[in-house]
Structure 1
Amino acid sequence: MTKRVFLSSKVLIKSPAARTGLHERNLRLVIRVNHEPWGSEMHQVFTTTTKTQRSLRDPPIAKAICQFIDIGSLPQRDRTQHRMAVPRRACDACYKRKIQCDRSDPEEQCNWCRHHDLPCTLNRIRGRKKKTKNSTESIVKRLERIEQGIARAKALKQSTQMPPEAAPGSAALSDSSGAYQRKITHGRCTIWFSGQKFAAICSRNGIPHFTSLGEQWIYSQTGLWPRFHNEDKLAFCEATDHISSAALALKPPKRQAEQDQLGEIPEKWVTQALLDAFNKSDFRLIFPIIDRELFEDTIRQAYDSPSANATIGAIGSRACVLAFLAVTSRHFCAMEVTKQVDSDDCAKKAQLLISDFIEDASLTTLQVMVMLVGGHTLARDPPTDRSLTVQELEERQVRFLFWLCYHFDKDMALRNGQPPMMSDEFCDLTLPKEYLENRFPKLALSGAVEPQAPFLPNDLRLSLLKSKAVSALYSAGSLRKSDAELLRTIRELDEDLENWRVSIPAEYAPALSVRKDVKLADTLSPTTSMLHIELHLDYHYLLNIIHCASGRCVVDWNESGKEMIFGLQSSLDLSVEASRSTLIYLSEAAPRLAGEAFWVFIFYPVSALLSIFFNILRNPKHEYAAHDVELLASSTKVIRSMPIHRITTHELEYLHKMDAFIEELGRLSQAAIAKVQSENGGVEK
C-alpha cells in the first residue's frame, strides 16, 4: 500500500481584491519540504487564479492544497528515521542550553549528557501545544473563513441595496470604506458603530447627517428608511460652525473703519452703572473678563480721548467698552439702565473698531493674543500682603483670560472635532492658588456667603481631563490605535474621571447614575445652582464621550457562537447610562439654566439622544428599550423647557428642527422593537 504524508503548506492571498471579493483572487500555495534525513530541500509552487464566480474549492485549488508526497518508494532507513523524527524531543539539558540534541532513543543518553555525565531526562513541563498553522485542517478552516467573509460582504451589499423609490433625499455622505476598515477622519464629529462610520455631526447644531451606510444599517434594524430632513448641507455646517446666531450679522468690512461709522458710545454714567453691577454680582467670579482697576483706566481713555485722529490705544479702549456694554446689558437686562444700551449695536461697533488692527475678532484671535502676552506661562500667584502693582494686575488678568480661553478651547474641540488651539505641552497648567477652596465653598450652599476670588466656569480640573480625552481618543494618532489599545485608553480615562468625581465635595459631586427624578434645593444661590448643574451635565457628557469611542472597535455582533467582548459591552453600557442620566437630570434642572447659555447646554441632550437611539437599534430586546423610547419622546419637552434669553427666527427654526428630529428617532426606535417582537412571534408576556 502506498503511504502518503502531508508535509506543509501556506496560503497567501496576494491580491487586495481577493480580500474584498471584487474582481479576481490570486491564491499562492507554497509547499515546502525540508527533512534533514533526506539531505535535500524540495520546493513546489502552485499558483491558481480564479474568477469571482468560481468557488475557492475548485479542483485546481483543491489539487494545490492536497498535494501529498509518496514516501513508499523511499529506503527503509529513511522511512524509519522519518517516523522517529516526528516525536523526537530535545532532552532537558540540551533544551536549556539551546543546543541540538542527537538523542534518538528515549532510553539512551544524548552525546552531550554522556560526555558531561549529566542525566538525560525529559521532565520539563511543555506549554500548550499550538495548533499547526500549516496543517490541512488549518488551511481549510482559513479558506472557509475567507469564503464566509466574502459571502457576508456580498449578502450585506445585496440585502441593503436601496430601492430607487425608497432612497432618502437627505444629504447623506458617501462612504467608500470597505467592510471592517476604520477610516481616519475627525473622530469626535463622527458616529462610529462596530468600526463603521454611520454619521457625521454638524457642530453648528449637533444634529447628525447619516451616511448611506448608516441609513442602510438603520433600515436593516427597523425595516424603515430614515426620514431625516436635513435641509442644511454638511459643507455649510462646517463652513459656519464657528458663527453663532447672534454673530451672523456681525460682518465688518475688511478695511479701516471710518469715524462716522462708529457712532456715539453710550454715556459714561451708563458704563459706570453696569461696571458697578458687574463687580457686585457673581457673574464676575465665573467670567472675570475685566479687572476693576484696569478697566477704570480703559473707561477714561475711551471717553477722554479725542475722536478725531484717535490712536490705536483709544480705538481699542472704545472697542473694549462697547464689548463690555454688549455683554453686561444682556446679563443685567432687568436693570433700568440697560434701556440706554442697544447690545447688538454695541457689538457691531466693537467688532468694526477692532477690525482696524485685528482682521478676525474671534476666540481664536483672543487665544493667540493671550499667549503672545504670556498668559499660558504666567502661573505665579500675586502677593496678598500688599496692593498689586499695575503690572501684577495685568499679569493676573491675562492669566484669568488664559484659563477662560483654555476652558472654551477644550469644549469646542470635543464638540466640533477640530484640534484644540492650545497645546498642553506648551502651557503651565498650575491651578490658581486656593482654587478648590474658592470653587467649592461650604457656606455657599446655604447662600449666606459667596466667594470673592474668581473661580471661572465649571471646574478647571475637568477641562484638563477634556484635553486629555481629546488627545487620547480623537487625535490623528489615537484613531490608529488597535481595539485593545483603545479599550485600555478608555479604561484609563474612566478611572481619571472617577478620581475627579470622588474628589468633589459630596454636596456638589455628580451622581454615578440618575435613575429617578432629581430635586434641586430651593435654597441654592444662582451661582451654586448653576455650578451643581454644570458639574452633573459635564460629568455625564464626558463619560458618554469617553465610552462612545468604543464604537470604533471592529466587532461582528451577529456572528453565531461568538462571545461579546466584555470590555466593549461594558463601555457601551456606561455610555448609554450616562446619556440616560443626562436627560433625566436635565428634565428637572432645565428651567434653572441661564437663558443666555442655551447654545452652550443644548449639546448635552442632543449627544445623549444619539447614544440612546443607537443603543435601542443595536439591542431592541434590552429590558430598558421601551423605557428609553419614552425617554426619547420626553426630550422634546426637556429641550423646550430650556430658557432662551431672546428667541429669534434662528432659535425657532432650530427648535422645530429638533422636534422633527426627535420624532423620527422615536418612530425608528419603536419600529426596531416591533420588528424584533414580530420575528420572535409576538410580545412575551
Structure 2
Amino acid sequence: MDARAPRKSNRGRRAKACDSCSRRKIQCDADVPQCNWCKHHDLACTYRRLVATTKKKSPDHKITQTPDSITRMEVILAQRLSQHDDDTQFEYLTSSQSDLRNATSFTGIPLFSEKGQAWIESRTGSRMTPQTLCSFGRQWHSPRRLYLDPDTIAASAQPSSSPPTSPVYDKSDRTHHLRDLFWTCYSLDKDLCIRTGQPSCLSDIHCDLTLPPDYSVMQNRHIQSHTIPDLGNRTVPMYPWELLLSQLKSRAYDALYSPMAHRKSQCELLESIRVLDESLEQWRLSLPPDFRPTLTFGKMTPVSADVSMQSSMVRLAYYHFVAIIHRASGRCMAQSPGNYHEGVRSSFNLSLDASRSTLVYLRVALHVITDDCFWVIIYYPISAILALFSNILSSPLDETAPGDLEILKSAPTLFRIIPIRKLTLAELTHLKLLDAFSMELARLGELAIQKARGNVPTHG
C-alpha cells in the first residue's frame, strides 16, 4: 500500500490528518499529493500510522495468540514502518550515508544528497526545485522502507537446506512448495538488493541454490507460450525474476557494491566487472533466440512479432543489469577524475547504452505490459533517465549529450502513455511526480549544456 494514500484501519476509519499534521495537532486538508502544510514546508505527506480504535479487543484477538503467520507479518510491518517518521527520512536523504558504493549513484555521487545537489548546481548554475527534491528524492533514496517486506517474508519462509524429497517437481510435495516460497523470496530479495544498493537479507552461503527440476526448460516454455499454461501440480511456476539472473545479481552486489568491493583498486574493480559481464553474456546466450535480448536496442532494431510481457520483462531486466554492472566503473571516474584506467570509460559507456536501450525498448513493449506490473516496470525508465541525466552533467560537451537531452525531454510522454486501464491513487500520484521530475531533469540538463558552451542563461 502506498504511504501517501490515507490509510484505513480494520474498522474502516480513514486517517483524517497526515502524519505531519497529526504530530503537530493542526488541521489537515488531506489534499493529494500533498496537504497544504506539507507542501509549504517541503515535507513528504504520508499516512503511515494506523488509526487507533477505542474498542478494546477480546483476548481472542490478541496478536500473541494468533497463529496465522500473515497476521504476524502485518503487525511487524506496521510496527517497523511507524519507526521511520518524515524527519528521520529527510535526515537520511540529506546525509552522506548514501555513499559511493550505493547502486543508486550514477557517477559516484548520490544525486539527492547535499553533495549531489551542490554538484548539480555547479554544473548547471541552478538547483533542483525544492518541491521536486522533497517529493521524489525521498522515494528514490529511502530504500529501507522497500526492504521490510522481503526481510519479513523471507524469515517466515524459513528455507531449509534439505533438498526436495523427489527429483520430479510436484506442487503437492511440501518440500517443493517450500522451495517455491524460497525462490520467490530469493528473487525479490536480490532484485531489491541491486536496486537499492543495500545488503540482501538472504546470504547465498546459507541457502540451497539447487534449481527446481527442469527449471530452464519449463521457464523457456512459459515465456514462449502465447497462452497461460495448464496449472497443475507438475507445473513449475513463473517466479518474479529469472532465477539464474537473480543469482548473478547476488554476485554483482558482493563483487561491486558491498563494503569489501568499495575497497578494491581500479584494476580489481574492472576485473570484477569483466567476470560478471562474461557470466551475464553466457546467461544471455543460453536463452532461446526467439526472446534472447539483443546487446543493445535502438530505434532501428527489429522487433519480434511475438513480443510478450514475459519476454519483455526478461529484456528489461537484462538491460538494467548491464547498466548496474558497468555503472560501478563510475566510482573510478569520481574518485580519480582524469586519472582512471582506460577501460573505465568504455565500461561506463556500456552502462549508458543499456540505459538508452531500456527507454527505446520500453516504448515498443508498452502495449504488452499488464496493470499488475506497474511498480516493477516503472523503476526501469526512472533509473535510465537518471543515468543519462548524470552523464549530461558530467560530460555536457560529449557528442551524445544532445541526443540524451532529447530522450529526457520525451520521458514525460513515455510516462503518460503507460497503458494502465484504471490508475489507483498511488499510481496516479506517482505518475504526476514522474512527469514533473523528468521535466525538471530535462531543464537542468539543458542548462548544463548551455553553461558548458558558454551560453549562460539570464535566469534558471
Please state how far the C-alpha of 1:409 moved relative to its aligned partner. 0.9
Residues 188 and 415 of structure 1 are in contact (CA less than 8 Å); yes or no, is this contact kept in structure 2? no
Distance 1:212 1:577 in 2: 28
Please state how far the C-alpha of 1:477 moved relative to its aligned partner. 1.8
What is the letter of the counterpart of residue 262 of structure 2?
Answer: L
Cα-to-partner distance string for 1:188-238 (whole Å, 9 max, x where unaligned): 354253x5x333xxxxxxxxx2x2322222223223333252334749973
Which of the pair has the greater relative contact order for Cα pairs under 8 Å at 6+ separation?
2
Structure 1 residues 491-500 or 481-490, which shifts more? 481-490
Please state how far the C-alpha of 1:583 moved relative to its aligned partner. 0.2
Aligned twin of 2:164: 380
Corresponding position: 1:616 with 2:395: no
Structure 1 residues 471-480 or 429-438, which shifts more? 471-480
Q: Check 1:645–1:482 CA distance in 2 against 1; reply closer, same or farther (3 A cut).
A: farther
Corresponding position: 1:495 with 2:274: no
Cα-to-partner distance string for 1:494-528 (whole Å, 9 max, x where unaligned): 1111111111111111110111156654545xxxx
Distance 1:508 1:393 in 2: 32
Aligned twin of 1:198: 110
Please state how far the C-alpha of 1:677 moved relative to its aligned partner. 2.7
Aligned twin of 2:365: 589
Corresponding position: 1:654 with 2:430: yes
Larger relative strand fraction: 1
Corresponding position: 1:231 with 2:134: yes
What is the letter of the counterpart of residue 377 of structure 1?
Answer: S
Residues 266 and 341 of structure 2 are in contact (CA less than 8 Å); yes or no, is this contact kept in structure 1? no
Aligned twin of 1:420: 200
Residues 621 and 673 of structure 1 are in contact (CA less than 8 Å); yes or no, is this contact kept in structure 2? yes
Please state how far the C-alpha of 1:557 moved relative to its aligned partner. 7.2
What is the aligned counterpart of 1:213 among 115, 132, 155?
115
Aligned twin of 1:551: 330
3-state SS of the aligned residue for 1:404? helix
3-state SS of the aligned residue for 1:241? helix
Aligned twin of 2:146: 242
Write out the 4+ residue segments of structure 1 that deviate beyond 6 Å after TM superposition.
169-172, 448-451
Aligned twin of 1:669: 445
Distance 1:479 1:556 in 2: 11
Q: Check 1:368–1:500 CA distance in 2 against 1; reply closer, same or farther (3 A cut).
A: same
Cα-to-partner distance string for 1:54-97 (whole Å, 9 max, x where unaligned): xxxxxxxxxxxxxxxxxxxxxxxxxxxxxxxxxxxxxxxxxxxx
Cα-to-partner distance string for 1:275-323 (whole Å, 9 max, x where unaligned): xxxxxxxxxxxxxxxxxxxxxxxxxxxxxxxxxxxxxxxxxxxxxxxxx
What is the aligned counterpart of 1:532 among 306, 311, 322?
311
Larger relative helix fraction: 2
Corresponding position: 1:364 with 2:364: no
Q: Check 1:235–1:408 CA distance in 2 against 1; reply closer, same or farther (3 A cut).
A: closer
Aligned twin of 2:217: 437
Corresponding position: 1:187 with 2:98: no
Query: Gaps spanning 5+ residues in structure 2: where?
Result: 1-41, 44-89
Q: Check 1:557–1:364 CA distance in 2 against 1; reply closer, same or farther (3 A cut).
A: closer
Aligned twin of 2:31: none
Corresponding position: 1:395 with 2:175: yes
Please state how far the C-alpha of 1:591 moved relative to its aligned partner. 2.5
Distance 1:198 1:184 in 2: 6
3-state SS of the aligned residue for 1:224? coil
3-state SS of the aligned residue for 1:514? coil
Distance 1:555 1:432 in 2: 42
Query: Gaps spanning 5+ residues in structure 1: where?
Result: 1-168, 177-182, 200-208, 244-359, 681-685
3-state SS of the aligned residue for 2:293? coil
Please state how far the C-alpha of 1:623 moved relative to its aligned partner. 2.0
Aligned twin of 1:410: 190
3-state SS of the aligned residue for 1:438? helix
Distance 2:354 2:139 in 1: 31
Residues 186 and 417 of structure 1 are in contact (CA less than 8 Å); yes or no, is this contact kept in structure 2? no
Please state how far the C-alpha of 1:615 moved relative to its aligned partner. 1.1
What is the aligned counterpart of 1:482 among 253, 265, 272?
265
Please state how far the C-alpha of 1:239 moved relative to its aligned partner. 8.4
Aligned twin of 2:25: none
Distance 1:228 1:422 in 2: 37
Q: Check 1:430–1:235 CA distance in 2 against 1; reply closer, same or farther (3 A cut).
A: closer
Q: Check 1:450–1:622 CA distance in 2 against 1; reply closer, same or farther (3 A cut).
A: farther
Please state how far the C-alpha of 1:640 moved relative to its aligned partner. 2.3
Structure 1 residues 445-454 or 493-502, which shifts more? 445-454
Q: Check 1:411–1:186 CA distance in 2 against 1; reply closer, same or farther (3 A cut).
A: farther
What is the letter of the counterpart of residue 667 of structure 1?
Answer: R
Cα-to-partner distance string for 1:610-669 (whole Å, 9 max, x where unaligned): 111111121122222211111112222222222336423322221111111111111111
Distance 1:580 1:651 in 2: 24
Name the larger-Rg structure.
1
TM-score, structure 1 normalization: 0.48
Please state how far the C-alpha of 1:590 moved relative to its aligned partner. 1.7
Cα-to-partner distance string for 1:105-137 (whole Å, 9 max, x where unaligned): xxxxxxxxxxxxxxxxxxxxxxxxxxxxxxxxx
Aligned twin of 1:179: none
3-state SS of the aligned residue for 1:612? helix
Distance 1:673 1:239 in 2: 31
Distance 1:465 1:543 in 2: 11
What is the letter of the counterpart of residue 473 of structure 1?
Answer: L
Cα-to-partner distance string for 1:174-193 (whole Å, 9 max, x where unaligned): 567xxxxxx88483354253
Cα-to-partner distance string for 1:349-391 (whole Å, 9 max, x where unaligned): xxxxxxxxxxx9x5433312322xxx3424336255xx97x9x
Please state how far the C-alpha of 1:449 moved relative to its aligned partner. 7.3
Residues 256 and 328 of structure 2 are in contact (CA less than 8 Å); yes or no, is this contact kept in structure 1? yes
Residues 106 and 387 of structure 2 are in contact (CA less than 8 Å); yes or no, is this contact kept in structure 1? no
Aligned twin of 1:453: 236
Residues 104 and 196 of structure 2 are in contact (CA less than 8 Å); yes or no, is this contact kept in structure 1? no
Distance 2:322 2:290 in 1: 20
What is the letter of the counterpart of residue 219 of structure 1?
Answer: E
Report the count of equivalent residues.
Answer: 364
Distance 2:229 2:138 in 1: 48
Q: Check 1:239–1:500 CA distance in 2 against 1; reply closer, same or farther (3 A cut).
A: closer
Distance 1:664 1:516 in 2: 25
Please state how far the C-alpha of 1:598 moved relative to its aligned partner. 0.6
Q: Check 1:667–1:185 CA distance in 2 against 1; reply closer, same or farther (3 A cut).
A: closer
Aligned ranges for residues 88-107 of structure 1 at < 5 Å? none
Please state how far the C-alpha of 1:441 moved relative to its aligned partner. 2.8
Q: Percent identity?
A: 36
